[in-house]
Amino acid sequence: MTKKVLLVGNGAREHAIAKKIVESDAKLYSYMSTENPGIADLSRKTILGEMSDFSKLNQFRKVDYAIIGPESPIAFGITNFLEEKLDIPTCSPKQEVARIESSKIFARCLLDAYDIPGNVPYFICRSLRDLEDAVKEFGLKIVIKPDGLTGGKGVRVYGDHFSTFREAKDYARTLLSTSDEFLIEEKKEGKEFSLQVFTDGKKIVPMPLVRDYKRAFENEEGPNTGSMGSYSLAEHTLPFLEKSDIDKAINIMEKTIEALEKQTDLRYKGVLYGQFMKTTDDIYLIEFNVRFGDPEALNVLQLLETDFNELSHQIIDGDLKKASFRPLSTVCTYLVPNGYPTSPRDAQEINIKDSIDIDLYYASVYRTKTSLRTTKSRSIALVGTGRNLEEAREKINKNISKIEGNLHYRKDIGLYL
Ligand code: AMP
Ligand code: GLY
């Protein structure tokens, strides 16, 4: 019988998940905070509502399972609500284990408590005195992080966001005015990579590794963004990693999932995404996310051969087997409104020619009666695949000019490895 699936979220990542859900012959139901036209077109029914408000979810009682795209509803406990109140099995982690993302202090302490490698030296700060102690130990090369979710906007890195002790202190003061504690980490330098795994809480199935490009402009210049694009290779590895690096990162993920169960008595189910950094001396865990990455989901779902709904059921049932991914390279490029991220031009018209022959995902755009328009966030993602990066990049280049509007994109995604 055709399955009914509820998807929560409304970005390009969720558009890619939606496509996989319907591809394997299921009926899609969607809950979004603002309408993503791509997801809406694939859905049998769409309800709009806040990610922190679960009161409308009972209208989806008849679905076979649910999957949650973004971290915020997971941190608010949407999985607990769907499973415990509505009896809807959910392929995303419960609030208690999701603390691995929603509390950066919890994550660092968990790694320490269970002797998991890859932890960055850190300080939990409860006063300006603690900040001074941290700087005595690490010097000014630190990263200041609020403990909770900030939608990627709260982390301040020495050299990028501040360069004097005074600026660090000002930010620390701001954080202490709204919370009791925050985190200081030693700043590491190296190349970052994204490792996403499917897990049923016991077994993990790694997905192809992805590298994302966070800076707004070419050559890694300009402010940090939600990401301007990403690539993955046909080999499913990355050029700057040895096999031993990947084994270390996988081991950190496995040990973390084990530790989470010991700590909470709950199994972590869904996708766990570790953001890692390879430095000259080792592999470090920068952050955990309790969901697919955006745009990393767009790279890997493009390649996933295993039936997505089947995989979700295996995760829910605690019976995860394996997943196979096509041996192709992928390049994902985001088109963003001109001025993004500092002064993005919203309400700009976008024209997409029909002749586009690669996958296109809507991120944050809205539809009027006659047109598609930008918001202040990223607009559209294109994903090209090929036997190698050059082929994948070529497909992006061939198609991206078929999207017209007051838009900007990086031409070097997949060029600088
Ligand atoms: P997070 O939200 O913790 O992933 O941090 C956002 C970004 O800040 C990361 O993608 C890194 O580029 C940078 N960052 C975070 N922690 C560190 C660290 N300990 N050393 C160097 N860079 C970091
Ligand atoms: N690629 C960054 C994120 O999904 O958080």
Q: What is this structure's pTM?
A: 0.97
Where helices occur in 185-327 by DSSP H, the ranges are 243-264, 296-303, 308-316
Instruction: Give the pLDDT score at 48.
Output: 98
Cα 330 to averaged position of ligand 2 atoms, centre (Å): 17
- 286 Cβ inside 6 Å of ligand 1: yes
- 210 Cβ inside 6 Å of ligand 1: no
In whole angstroms, give the CA distance from residue 257 to residue 234. Answer: 28
Cα 286 to averaged position of ligand 1 atoms, centre (Å): 6
Residue type (1 letter), 221: E
Give the tokens for residue 267.
């199994």
Name residues whose C-beta falls within 8 Å of residue 130's C-beta, 6 or more positions apart in sequence: 123, 124, 184
> Which of 289, 301, 332 to probe ligand 2 with, by most ligand atoms within 8 A of CB?
289
Query: What is the mean predicted confidence (pLDDT) over 174-191?
Result: 96
Q: Are 320 and 203 in contact (CB under 8 A)?
A: yes
Residue 417's pLDDT band (cuts 50, 70, 90): confident
Please choose, from the candidates 392, 399, 398, the residue with its C-alpha nearest in 3D space to the C-alpha of residue 415: 392
Instruction: Give the pLDDT score at 151.
Output: 80
Instruction: Give the pLDDT score at 107.
Output: 98
Name residues whose C-beta falls within 8 Å of residue 131's C-beta, 6 or more positions apart in sequence: 125, 168, 169, 172, 184
Instruction: Give the pLDDT score at 124.
Output: 97
Number of H helices, E strands in the chain: 12, 22
pLDDT per residue over 195-231, tens digit each?
A: 999 999 999 999 999 999 999 999 989 988 989 999 9
Does residue 6 sit in helix, strand or coil?
Answer: strand
Type and span of the H or E element at 167: helix 165-178
Please choose, from the candidates 197, 208, 200, the residue with its C-alpha nearest in 3D space to the C-alpha of residue 273: 197
Q: How far is CA 382 from the centre of its chain?
A: 17
Residue 164's pLDDT band (cuts 50, 70, 90): very high
Task: Return the ligand 2 atom nearest residue 212 CA.
Answer: 1
Whether residue 293 is predicted with pLDDT greater than 90 in this model: the reply is yes
Radius of gyration of the chain (CA): 21
Instruction: Give the pLDDT score at 401.
Output: 95
- 215 Cβ inside 6 Å of ligand 1: no
Q: Are 236 and 210 in contact (CB under 8 A)?
A: no
Whether residue 152 is predicted with pLDDT greater than 80 in this model: the reply is no
Cα 195 to averaged position of ligand 1 atoms, centre (Å): 15
With tokens 């966001």, the residue in question is 161
Residue type (1 letter), 42: L
With tokens 């630190």, the residue in question is 142
Angstrom distances, CA of residue 352 to CA of 47, 139, 349, 369, 401: 26, 50, 10, 15, 9
Cα 152 to averaged position of ligand 1 atoms, centre (Å): 10
Residue 24's pLDDT band (cuts 50, 70, 90): confident
In whole angstroms, give the CA distance from residue 343 to residue 408. Answer: 13
Task: Return the ligand 1 atom nearest residue 120 CA.
Answer: 19
Pocket of ligand 2 (CB under 6 A): 212, 227, 289, 293-294, 296
Please choose, from the candidates 140, 145, 164, 275, the residue with its C-alpha nearest in 3D space to the C-alpha of residue 212: 275
In whole angstroms, give the CA distance from residue 226 to residue 206. Answer: 23
Give the tokens for residue 347.
């309400």
Give the tokens for residue 257.
């999932």
Enumerate domains of the chain plus CATH numbers.
4-84 (3.40.50.20), 121-186 (3.30.1490.20), 189-317 (3.30.470.20), 329-408 (3.90.600.10)
Please choose, from the candidates 102, 168, 160, the residue with its C-alpha nearest in 3D space to the C-alpha of residue 130: 168
Q: Quick one: CA torsion of 301, 306, 308, 312, rounded to 10 degrees? A: -120
Does residue 166 sit in helix, strand or coil?
Answer: helix
Which long-range contacts link 243-246 to residues 24+ away (Cβ below 8 Å)?
Answer: 245/278, 245/283, 246/195, 246/209
Instruction: Give the pLDDT score at 47.
Output: 98
Mean of the per-residue pLDDT values of the chain: 97
- 120 Cβ inside 6 Å of ligand 1: yes
Cα 93 to averaged position of ligand 2 atoms, centre (Å): 17
- Strands ordered across the beta sheet of 270-278: 204-206, 191-199, 270-278, 283-289
Type and span of the H or E element at 97: none
Residue nearest to ligand 2 atom 3, measured at CA? 293
In whole angstroms, give the CA distance from residue 315 to residue 205. Answer: 10
Give the tokens for residue 224.
């940090």
Q: Which ligand does the CA of 211 lie closest to?
A: 2
Dihedral angle sign, alpha carbons of residues 396, 400, 406, 411: positive
Whether residue 153 is predicted with pLDDT greater than 90 in this model: the reply is no
In whole angstroms, give the CA distance from residue 328 to residue 154. Answer: 35
pLDDT per residue over 25-74, tens digit each?
A: 899 999 999 999 999 999 999 999 999 999 999 999 999 999 999 999 99
Q: Please name every residue paired with 365 in a beta bridge, in sequence order, or none if there are none.
A: 374
Instruction: Give the pLDDT score at 366.
Output: 96
pLDDT per residue over 336-377, tens digit each?
A: 999 999 999 999 999 999 899 999 999 999 999 999 999 999
